[in-house]
Structure 1
């Protein structure tokens, strides 16, 4: 059952990833985030979570957060692109149960 669910999620992600996007900047940001989580070690991610963010990083985070909160379609597309990779890494690294 779990294997079927994982397979369905992977297939849905592949279909979603191949669809043309209305948000090319979002796609680039999502691709960078996915690549970062694929290549980072758990120690790298843990250290990054504890490090303070610069004013520029905070401003970018706020702008992206506002855009995602205000546009449900954009938010759905972003989540569909990054969630499988990010959640998997968070589980592997024991950041979530």
Structure 2
């Protein structure tokens, strides 16, 4: 499950344009998406090992994309 979740996040950032990411950030999440995100965050909060592995997999691709898009200094 961790593999699938991390891969989905990485693919989202790799396959999205900067404009798509900015638009998504400005829109409120749907109820279903908010609920899924809440469950995932809760799972990561409760399992430090899983959280560390997840962040190790997704942090660099996310940070690189946000930097390329000028969304972080």
- Tell me the TM-score normalised to structure 1 length: 0.72
List 4+ stretches of structure 1 deviating above 3 A.
Answer: none
Deviations 1:6-52 (A, max 9, x none): xxxxxxxxxxxxxxxxxxx1110111111111111100000010112
Q: How many aligned positions are there?
A: 73
Please identify the structure whose Cα radius of gyration is greater: 1
Which consecutive unaligned segments of at least 5 residues does structure 1 have? 1-24
Considering only aligned residues, what root-mean-square deviation do their CA atoms show, in Å? 0.8
Which of 35, 53, 63 is 1:87 aligned to? 63
Which of 44, 47, 56 is 1:68 aligned to? 44
Task: Work out the CA distance in 2 between the residues paired with 1:40 and 1:55.
Answer: 22
How far 1:92 moved relative to its partner? Answer: 0.8
Which consecutive unaligned segments of at least 5 residues does structure 2 have? none
How far 1:69 moved relative to its partner? Answer: 1.0
Task: Work out the CA distance in 2 between the residues paired with 1:80 and 1:87.
Answer: 12
